Amino acid sequence: MSKRRHRDSIRALLAKIPILTYHKIENRREVGINALPPEHFQAQLACLQELGYTTITFHDLLDSPELPEKAVILTFDDGYASVYEHALPLMQPYGFRGVVYAVGRFIGRWNDWDANLGGIRFRHMDRRQLRELADAGWEVGAHSLTHRALSWLDETSLHREIFGSRDLLADVAGRMPASFAYPFGMHHLRVREMVKAAGFAFACGGINSAAEAVDPLQLRRVPVYQFEGLSAYRKKLRIAGLPRLEYLKLRILSWPAVLTPLYQKRFRRELFLEMEGMPGVYSNNSND
């Protein structure tokens, strides 16, 4: 393995690299704005290529001896099956790779941790699909075990969510994850310290995270929504100068996410009690 970069060098690189957030890449509609049609996603990939961007992963930031002059990190939260079905084949012709953040206890299951308005559910990738992504050069990162607001958990549950997801995803991908994504982008000092103790070199929040993008444990990411055109997409790549109106728009659009943890506490408590009693590595054959 090549020598790892010094953390100051990594901070300097992060200040110049846009990090974008996707969720679902598919045509199925939802009561929400996170399901991006594949044709829109393909247009964005073509835009990245036209602008001279090359994708990298957080593993690349640590270990790759050379990085492209114009790098971008494409992250996919929750590990939905549509990323394997649509994003992977669309990205391969461009030589692009991504970072997928899987929810450990929901690997191969429906997204019952979410509110799923209108009764519309989405399937998460199974172990085989995640391993195929890893074998294709993608990074499989951790997104907790059950996708709850980590800042609301006690010390024991917090440790289980962070260390447990690390170990599970390392088993799935065959490699220790370099990065963690905070569910709902919610975190505070106690959560970040636990993430650091678990050995994660990077941790991603949302649009409300550290503006300077120089703290590797609270990286700002810019979300991509289904209704946005290529003009808005190009603005997202301006990490050092995201227009103020664009930033305010994205902050407003992100606020409903904080309602899901409230829904979980009120209506899904039994599900999470069941999840906490599960063994460490989730079965590949789950069809729940």
The reported pLDDT for the residue numbered 33 is: 75
Q: Residues 145, 161: contact at Cβ < 8 Å?
A: yes
**Bridging pattern class, strands 99-102 and 71-78:** parallel
The reported pLDDT for the residue numbered 268 is: 63
152: pLDDT strictly greater than 60: yes
pLDDT digits (tens, 9 = 90+) for 72-122: 999 999 999 999 999 999 999 999 999 999 999 999 999 888 866 667 889
* Window from 229-233, 258-262, 270-274 with minimum mean pLDDT: 270-274
CA distance 173 to 167: 10
Q: Residues 243, 235: contact at Cβ < 8 Å?
A: yes
Residue 131: other Cβ atoms inside 10 A: 17
pLDDT class of 282 with cuts at 50, 70, 90: very low
Among candidate residues 4, 14, 104, the one with its CA nearest the CA of residue 59: 4
Burial degree of 76 (CB within 10 A; 0-12, 13-18, 19+): buried
Q: Which amino acid is at 281?
A: V
Packed helices 259-267 and 269-276: angle between N→C axes, nearest 10 degrees: 80
Phi, psi of 223 (to 5 degrees): -75, 150
Q: Which of these CATH numbers, 3.40.50.300, 3.20.20.370, 1.10.150.120, 1.10.540.10, describes 7-276?
A: 3.20.20.370
1: pLDDT strictly greater than 50: no
Q: What's the mean per-residue pLDDT of the chain? A: 86
CA distance 140 to 124: 13
69: pLDDT strictly greater than 90: yes
Domain limits of the chain? 7-276
Q: pTM, whole model, 2 decimals? A: 0.86
The fraction of the chain above a pLDDT of 70, given in percent, is: 79
